[in-house]
Amino acid sequence: SISKQIKQTADAVSELLQIPVMGRITAGELTPIPTSDFAYYDAESKIEIPQSQLPGREKGKDLFALEVQGDSMIDAMVNDGDIVIMKHVNEARNGEMVVIWISDNNETTLKYFFRENGKVRLQPANPTMEAIIIDDPSTLEVRGKVVMVIRQVSGLPSSGVRI
C-alpha cells in the first residue's frame, strides 16, 4: 500500500547518518599535514550514509570521512578519489587499515598497521610500493580505522562498499 511505502521511505531517511568530511588522506608516501590555515573542506562538509550500510558492529558513533589521494591501497580496493569512512580510535590491531600520524615530522598516511619486533610496519596494498618501517612507535598516533569505503564513479559516490 502507499502508506506502507511512505513509512518505509521515512524510515530509510531517518536512518541516514551525517558523517563529517574532515579532508584528504594520502595513500602513498608520508605527507605533511597542511598548516591550520589550509582547509580542503569547510566545516559544514558532510556525507550521508544509510546506517544499514555500515558493518553490523558499527552504530555510527565517532565516525568521520576522508577523501583518499594516491594509489598505495589499490589492492585493498581503495582507489584515488574514494571516500573512506573512519572510526576514531587511538590503537590498532595488526592488519587493520588505519590513518597514522607521525608526530616527529607531522606527516600522515593511510596504510595497514603491523607491530613487529618493537617496530611498526605501515604496509601499502600495492606491490609497486615499499612498506614504511617506524623504528620508534612512540612517534606514531593512530587517528582512525577504516570501517567502510565508498567508491567514486565519475565523481559521484556509489554504493560500492568494502568492509
Burial (Cβ within 10 Å: 0-12, 13-18, ≥19) of residue 97: buried
163 pLDDT band (50/70/90 cuts)?
very low
Residue 49: Cβ within 10 Å count: 23
Parent domain of 143: 2-162
Q: Choosing from 72, 119, 145, 154, which is the catalytic residue?
A: 72
Contacts of 5 (CB under 8 A, 6+ apart): none
Active site residue 154: no
Helix (H, G, I), strand (E, B) or coil at 83: strand
Greatest mean pLDDT among 33-42, 57-66, 88-97: 88-97
**Domain CATH code at residue 126:** 2.10.109.10
Predicted local distance difference test score (pLDDT) of residue 40? 47
Q: Choosing from 111, 145, 158, 159, which is the catalytic residue?
A: 111
What is the number of structural domains in the chain?
A: 1
6 pLDDT band (50/70/90 cuts)?
low
Q: When comparing pLDDT for 17 and 117, which is higher?
A: 117
For cell 595488526, the residue is 94
pLDDT at 42 over 50: yes
Contacts of 132 (CB under 8 A, 6+ apart): 30, 109, 111, 121, 122
**61 contacts 102 by C-beta, under 8 angstroms:** no
Grid coordinates given for 17: 547518518
Q: When comparing pLDDT for 157 and 134, which is higher?
A: 134
Taking residues 28-52, what's their average pLDDT? 62
Query: How far, CA to CA in Å, does 94 sit from each of 56, 69, 91, 114, 145?
Result: 21, 23, 10, 4, 12
For cell 562538509, the residue is 45
pLDDT at 121 over 70: yes
What pTM was computed for the model? 0.76
Taking residues 45-68, what's their average pLDDT? 82
Predicted local distance difference test score (pLDDT) of residue 135? 93
Greatest mean pLDDT among 50-64, 67-81, 122-136: 122-136
Predicted local distance difference test score (pLDDT) of residue 34? 47
Active site residue 72: yes
